Amino acid sequence: MSTPAEANPLGLCGQLPRFDLFATEQVVPGVRALLARLSTQLDAIEACVEASWDGLVLPLERMNEGLAYAWGLVSHMLAVRNSEALRTAHAEVQGEVIAFGLRQAQSPAIHAGLLRLRAGETFGSLDPTQQRIVDCLLRDARHSGVGLDDPRRARFNAIQAELADLATRFNDHVLDATRQFSRVVRDPIEMEGTPPSLRELTAQNARAHGEPGATAEAGPWRLSLDAPVLFPFLEHGACRPLREKLYRANITRASSGNLDNTPILEQILALRHEMAGLLGFSCYAELSLDAKMAPGVAAVDELLEQLRRASLPGAQKDLEQLRAFALERGQGEPIALWDVPYWAERLRENRFDYSEEELRPYFPLPRVLEGLFTLARRLFAVDIVAADGETPVWHPDVRFFRVRDAAGQPIAAFFLDPYSRPGDKRGGAWMDDCMGRTRRATDGVLRQPVAYLVCNQSPPVGDKPSLMAFDEVLTLFHEFGHGLQHMLTRVDHGLASGIRNIEWDAVELPSQFMENWCYHRETLLGLSRHVESGERLPEVLFEKIAQARTYRAGSTMLRQLYFAMLDLAIHRDPSAGRRERIFAIQAEIAARTTVVPPLPEDRFLCSFGHIFAGGYAAGYYSYKWAEVLSADAFSAFEEAGLDDGPAVAEMGRRFRETVLALGGGTAPMRVFEAFRGRPPSPAALLRHSGLSDLPAGGVATERGPA
Ligand code: ZN
CA of 302 to the centre of ligand 1 (A): 24
Mean per-residue pLDDT, 683-696: 78
Mean pLDDT value of segment 669-682: 97
pLDDT, tens digit, for every residue of 16-42? Answer: 999 999 999 999 999 999 999 999 999
Residues near ion ligand 1 (Cβ under 5 Å): 511
pLDDT at 696: 39
Determine the pLDDT at residue 48.
87
End-to-end CA distance of the chain: 58
Q: Which runs of consecutive H residues, i.e. helices, occur in 401-548?
A: 470-487, 509-515, 521-526, 539-548
In 3D space, the residue among 444, 510, 505 whose CA is nearest the CA of residue 659 turns out to be 510
In DSSP notation, 450-468 reads EEEEEEEEPPPBTTBPPBP
Contact 42, 63 (CB under 8 A): yes
- Between the CA of 500 and the centroid of ligand 1 the distance, in Å, is 14
- CA nearest to 108, candidates 49, 39, 37, 36: 49
Q: In what order do the strands lie in the sheet with 383-386?
A: 383-386, 399-404, 410-419, 450-457, 430-435
Which amino acid is located at 190 in the chain?
E
Q: pLDDT grade, residue 703 (50/70/90)?
A: very low
Span of 153-157, 574-578, 625-629 with lowest mean pLDDT? 574-578
* Residue % of the chain over a pLDDT of 70: 97
Residue 468's pLDDT band (boundaries 50, 70, 90)? very high
Distance in Å, CA 478 to ligand 1 centroid: 6
Which residues are CB-contacts of 258 (< 8 A; sequence separation ≥ 6)?
none
Centre a 10 Å sphere on the Cβ of residue 695 and count the other Cβ atoms it contains: 11
pLDDT tens-digit series, residues 508-541: 999 999 999 999 999 999 999 999 999 999 999 9
User: Ligand 1 center to residue 621 CA distance, Å?
Assistant: 15
pLDDT per residue as tens digits for the range 57-87: 999 999 999 999 999 999 999 999 999 999 9
Residue 448 is predicted with a pLDDT of: 97
Of 287, 309, 307, nearest to 568 by C-alpha is 287
**How buried is residue 352: exposed, middle or buried, by Cβ count under 10 Å (0-12/13-18/19+)?**
middle
Question: Are the CB atoms for 164 and 267 separated by under 8 Å?
Answer: no
Given its phi and psi angles, is residue 448 left (phi above 0), alpha (psi -120 to 50 degrees) or beta? beta
**H runs (alpha helix) in 329-429:** 340-351, 356-359, 365-380
Look at residue 704 in the predicted model and tell me its pLDDT. 35
Distance 136 CA to ligand 1 centre (A): 23
What share of the chain in percent tops pLDDT 90?
86
Report the alpha-carbon distance of residue 657 to residue 651 in Å, rounded. 10
CA of 444 to the centre of ligand 1 (A): 32
* Ligand 1 centroid distance, CA of 506 (Å): 10
User: Which region among 165-169, 239-243, 384-388, 656-660 has the lowest average model confidence (pLDDT)?
Assistant: 165-169
| Prediction pTM value | 0.91
- The residues that bridge with 451 in the sheet, in sequence order, are 414, 433
CA of 210 to the centre of ligand 1 (A): 40
The sign of the torsion formed by the CA atoms of 632, 636, 639, 644 equals negative
| CB burial of residue 149 (10 Å; 0-12, 13-18, 19+) | exposed
- Pair 699, 681: CB distance under 8 Å: yes
pLDDT digit string (tens) for 279-300? 999 999 999 999 999 999 999 9
CA of 669 to the centre of ligand 1 (A): 19
CA of 522 to the centre of ligand 1 (A): 24
How many whole angstroms from 665 Cα to the centroid of ligand 1? 20
The C-alpha angle 91, 95, 100, rounded to 5 degrees, equals 140
What pLDDT does 558 receive? 97
Confidence bin at 3 (pLDDT 50/70/90): very low
Ligand 1 centroid to residue 482 C-alpha, Å: 7
Q: Exposed, middle or buried: residue 213 (CB in 10 Å: 0-12, 13-18, 19+)?
A: exposed
* pLDDT band at residue 692 under the 50/70/90 scheme: confident
* Distance between CA atoms of residues 264 and 359, nearest Å: 46
Contact 485, 479 (CB under 8 A): no
Q: What is the pLDDT of residues 389-419, one digit of tens each?
A: 999 999 999 999 999 999 999 999 999 999 9
For residues 5-9, average pLDDT: 69
Give the pLDDT score at 614.
83
Q: Catalogue the active-site residues.
A: 479
- Interval between CA 653 and ligand 1 midpoint (Å): 22
Which string of DSSP letters, residue by residue, matches 43-100?
A: HHHHHT---SIIIIIHHHHHHHHHHHHHHHHHHHHHHHS--HHHHHHHHHHHHHHHHH
pLDDT for residue 240 = 97
For ligand 1, the distance from its centroid to the CA atom of residue 544, given in whole angstroms, is 25
How many angstroms does the Cα of residue 483 sit away from the middle of ligand 1? 10
pLDDT per position as a tens digit, 488-509: 999 999 999 999 999 999 999 9
Cα 274 to averaged position of ligand 1 atoms, centre (Å): 32
How many angstroms separate the alpha carbon of residue 622 from the centre of ligand 1?
A: 12
> According to the per-residue pLDDT averaged within each range, which of 539-548, 576-585, 685-694 is highest?
539-548
Non-local CB neighbours of 306 within 8 Å, separated by 6+ positions: 682, 705
Whole-number mean pLDDT of the chain?
93
- Residue 495's pLDDT is 96
Element (H, E) at 221: strand 221-223
> What's the 623 CA to ligand 1 centre distance in angstroms?
10
Ligand 1 geometric centre to CA of 479 (Å): 6
**How do residues 107-138 score in pLDDT, each as one tens digit?**
999 999 999 999 999 999 999 999 999 999 99
φ/ψ (deg, to 5) at 210? 80, 15
Question: Residue 475 Cα, ligand 1 centroid: separation in angstroms?
Answer: 9
Transcribe 112-125 into DSSP letters: HHHHHHHHSGGGGG
State pLDDT tens for residues 195-205. 888 999 899 99
Q: Is the pLDDT of residue 702 over 70?
A: no
The three-class DSSP label of residue 599 is coil
Position 461 scores a pLDDT of 86
Alpha carbon of 261 to ligand 1 centroid (Å): 29
Q: Which of 571, 485, 102 is nearest to 290 (CA)?
A: 571
Mind listing the pLDDT tens digit for each residue in 331-358?
999 999 999 999 999 999 899 888 778 8
362 C-alpha vs ligand 1 centroid, how far in Å?
25
